[in-house]
Chain A
Amino acid sequence: MKIRGRKVKVSRIVVYAILIATAVTMLVPFVWMLSASLKLSKDVFSFPVEWFPAQPVWHNYVDIWTKVPLALFIWNTSKLTIIVTVLQLLTSSFAAYAFAKLDFKYKNALFLGYIATIAMPWQVYMVPQFILMREFHLNNTHLALICLQAFTAFGVFLMRQFYQSIPDELCEAARIDGMNEYQIWWKIMLPLSKPALSTLTIFTFVTTWNDFLGPMIYLTKTELKTIQIGLRMFIAQYSAEYGLIMAASVVTLIPVLIVFLALQRFFVEGIASSGLKG
């Protein structure tokens, strides 16, 4: 028994060792970023690494706002991200309700249209899409990026998978009670689909906030640029100002961190219930 008891303990130690080592690998770049953001550029690469700068250079966090229009970039990105996320949630859950709970002509054909493109990388059709947007005079507008990201097959698919797991009897009962389909969607389906909605919110928010290639292709005017492009511009212009680059990087991470921490408790549940696991 004793040997057995010890064996279990050894395996536990191995498990924790792996977990801690991996967690450290995951976190070290962020800790380093945070610590470097509080240093003078000449001290960033001093070795051994001074994880807690003795004299933190808080001034980095003041200077970044004046070097490039960072606040404007953050405003542009926030605007885009919020509009895209709201549109994505509304239109996907709306369409998914019909695909999951209603019968209508060409239902399967239309759904196949979504499924067929779900595995299609955007990069395959980004060129014709750019031409289309240009025909609509949408290049160098935020509307182009909204149109590009708000209507995805992924969103409809995710929500539909979730709605299918909700019993039809619930809708039937509501219909007998005299609710119309819009009321059922709004009063019954939406409140029940929090996990799926949270999952979709995280994905859409993160994808839009972090998108790089889209804004790079569509936005050439500085006043329209997003935070990712802006940060890239910052890095190109002040390539030796390591402390400032790190401070700006920290700032771009904060909104994603907030959304992620606020919604992450729904996340595993959301993926499990939405059939995303395949």
Chain B
Amino acid sequence: MAVIAPVRKPRPTTAARRRLRNNVVAYSFIAPNFIGFAVFTLGPILFAFALAFMDWDGSNEMTFAGLRNFWRLFSDDVFQTALWNTLVYTAVTVPLTLVCSLLLAVLLNQKVFGRNFFRTVMFFPYVASLVAVAVVWNMIFNPAMGPFNMLLVAFGLDPAHLPGWSADKNWAMVTVILFSVWKNMGYYMVIYLAGLQGVNPELYEAAGIDGANAWDKFRHVTIPQLSATTFFVSIMLTIQCFKVFDQIYMLTQGGPGTSTLVLVYHIYNEAFISWDLGYASMVALVLFLLVLIVTVIQFRGQRDA
């Protein structure tokens, strides 16, 4: 007894000490990233929600604005245009990119000659610097002397009725959308390729035995098997579209007029041009709600599917 007792007593302390040590070790792993993340991401996010209900120009005293910024959304024509443009841009870009990237991934998942070359080429626009490709894009689609319109003339189009691309308010959104699809589809193709690697080849064999042709296989094997990937891609794409800014800044500066003005452009202008930080945060809150709604809807759809 006398031997056992001293051994038994310290046991919980050792266990507690070990647990403490484990926690300390684990936190030492997390701390370098988490501290930076908490200070520069979590903090500002919480601050953003509060700021939406404040009036502040960034230098004078901050005052509580209640719902004033919120009501202002309804009388702000520029905001409404920006919201509409963002929704149009998203509604066209998401399905177009999705279909193109899925098609490419399916084609490049087969044994084709030069497969790696094709994959690399398709992906390259995604990594290429936006400023550089946007300036080339605007030169190629220059309405008056760009090679694309020259080609259209060579094919017999009336030089007086050529598309004005980014300089024409009816074509600017089309230009921006085409550019986005061109630039980003390689990235989503890679994600689809990764998804295709998880599809069991036996499913295709079984479908082949049942007499399915290539289209049947695509329709009844590939698409259902990729539903998780499609879910992921559509969410990522939608979020990417909602927050579009850089390419519009470089291709059209939101113009001509307000034809390509989008939400983030409005946030940028209100915050860093007008220094109306409260209202800019309110518009940012709308952007956040849009992302949240889409994520929830798609998550529900995914669960029911």
Contact = CB atoms under 8 A, between A and B. Distances in A.
Given A113-B42, A128-B281, A123 B287 contact: yes
A171 to B, nearest CB: 13
A261 interface: yes
Contact of B194 (A47, A123, A261, A268): A268
Interface string A18-39: 1100110111111011001000
A52 interface: no
Contacts of A103: 22, 26
A104 B23 contact: yes
Given A26-B122, A29-B140, 5 more contacts: A32-B147, A121-B287, A151-B37, A181-B25, A267-B123
Interface residues of B, number: 97
B245 to A, nearest CB: 6
A104 B22 contact: yes
Interface in A239-278: 242, 245-246, 249-250, 252-253, 256-257, 260-261, 264, 267-268, 271-272, 276-278
B29 A23 contact: no
A276 to B, nearest CB: 6
8 contacts: A95-B34, A121-B239, A121-B242, A127-B281, A151-B33, A151-B41, A209-B129, A278-B195
State the 6 A-B residue pairs at the shortest beta-carbon distance, nearest first.
A278-B232, A151-B36, A249-B132, A104-B26, A98-B29, A128-B47
Given A33-B132, A123-B264, A231-B132, A268 B51 contact: no
A249 B118 contact: no
Given A104-B27, A277-B195, A120 B190 contact: no
Interface string B200-229: 000000000000001000000000000011
Contact of B44 (A18, A104, A125): A125
A97 interface: yes
A119 B137 contact: no
B167 interface: no
B44 A128 contact: yes
B48 A260 contact: no
A34 to B, nearest CB: 10
Interface stretch (A53-61, A63-71, A210-218): A210-218
Contact of A16 (B29, B112, B154): B112
Size class of the contact patch on chain A: 35 or more
B69 interface: no
A210 B284 CA distance: 23
B37 A114 contact: yes
A53 to B, nearest CB: 14
